[in-house]
């Protein structure tokens, strides 16, 4: 840390180096805490949905809720990146129709539609509009975000939010 002979020197240093005034350790602690908060909001949104009804056609495994995970924070250039994702082993579920796996976190976000004969259509089985739980969690996080942390949601390489 440089030495300052006056408040003016300190102020000039601060103005030129605002991004670096917080130590890297403090920045990491804040980012880790805020990442935990966003993951908690995602889990709360999932739990809200799971509590909204009791399935009668299938039994829940709990895998979707338990699949939320936080990857280690990495530095990319001048930015620190925290990633919340879903454990692939828990997040994929085999289809009841053809055995293909579906990525439950994304399907629950945006919904699905299977082409079936009209008399056999079943809500939440052949048609579902999605619950936008990730979008709601991010909106809640952003409304409380006092650090200016930018949140992006990426699916299959495309920015969703």
Per-residue pLDDT of 86-134, as tens digits, reads: 999 999 988 766 667 889 999 999 988 776 665 566 666 667 899 999 9
Higher pLDDT: 126 or 61? It is: 61
Tokens representing residue 20 in the block = 């670096």
Contact 91, 105 (CB under 8 A): yes
Tokens representing residue 150 in the block = 């930018």
DSSP 94: E
Please give the average per-residue pLDDT across 127-153, as a whole number. 92
Residue 157, pLDDT above cutoff 70: yes
> Residue 68's pLDDT band (boundaries 50, 70, 90)?
very high
The phi, psi pair for 160, rounded to 5°, reads -95, -45
DSSP 123: B
State the residue for tokens 């840390």.
Answer: 1
Longest Cα–Cα distance in the chain: 82
> Residue 135's pLDDT band (boundaries 50, 70, 90)?
very high
Please give the average per-residue pLDDT across 30-51, as a whole number. 96
> Residue 21's pLDDT band (boundaries 50, 70, 90)?
very low
């Amino acid at each position: 840390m440089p030495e300052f002979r006056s408040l003016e020197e300190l102020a000039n240093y601060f103005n030129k180096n605002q991004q670096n005034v917080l130590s890297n350790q403090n920045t990491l602690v804040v980012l880790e805490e805020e990442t935990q908060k966003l993951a908690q909001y995602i889990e709360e949104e999932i739990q809200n949905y799971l509590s909204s009804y009791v399935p009668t056609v299938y039994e829940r495994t709990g895998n979707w809720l338990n699949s939320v995970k936080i990857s280690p924070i990495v530095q990319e250039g001048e930015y620190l990146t925290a990633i919340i994702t879903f454990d692939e082993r828990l997040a994929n579920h085999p289809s009841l129709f053809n055995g293909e796996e579906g990525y439950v976190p994304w399907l629950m976000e945006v919904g699905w539609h299977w082409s079936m004969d009209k008399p056999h259509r079943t809500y939440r089985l052949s048609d579902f509009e999605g619950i936008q739980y990730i979008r709601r969690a991010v909106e809640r996080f952003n409304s409380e975000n006092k650090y200016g942390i930018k949140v992006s949601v990426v699916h299959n390489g495309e920015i969703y939010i």
